[in-house]
Amino acid sequence: MVFSLKRGEILRVIKDNEPISITSLAKRVNLSTGNTIYRYIKELEEKGLINTSKDEKKRGQPTMLRVTDKARPLIKSFFSMSNQIKDVFE
C-alpha cells in the first residue's frame, strides 16, 4: 500500500467524525460505497490505522470506524506537511 492523499483524507474524516459509518465516510470523501471505499478500509485496518466495529446484537447496525492510537500522530504529521506544501502554492 502506497500512502496517498485520499488515504490521508479518509483518516482525517474518520478522526474528525468518529465513530463514523462507512456510508457517511464515503459521502464525505466523495467515493461510492462499492469496492473502492471497502478496499481503502481494508487496507487501513490491515495496517492497524483504523478499527471497525459492529454491534452484532442489533440487526442492521452499520459498521462503525475509528482511528487507532497508531494513526493519530501520523494524521497530525501528514496534515501539517500538506498544509506547508499548500502554503507554497498560495
Q: Do residues 48 and 41 make contact, with C-beta atoms less than 8 angstroms apart?
A: no
Taking CA atoms, 88 is separated from 82, 83, 85, in Å, by 10, 9, 5
Residue with cell 459521502: 27
Q: What does the pLDDT average to over 6-16?
A: 93
Domain architecture of the chain: domains with CATH: 5-88 (1.10.10.10)
The whole-number average pLDDT for the span 3-31 is 92
pLDDT value for 29: 94
**Strand order across the 20-21 sheet:** 20-21, 64-67, 50-53
**pLDDT tops 70 at residue 64:** yes
Whether pLDDT at 16 is above 70: yes
pTM metric for this prediction: 0.82
Compare 61 and 76 and report the one with higher pLDDT.
76
What's the pLDDT at 70? 96
- And the C-alpha cell for 71? 494513526
pLDDT, tens digit, for every residue of 24-62?
999 999 988 778 899 999 999 999 999 999 866 666 678
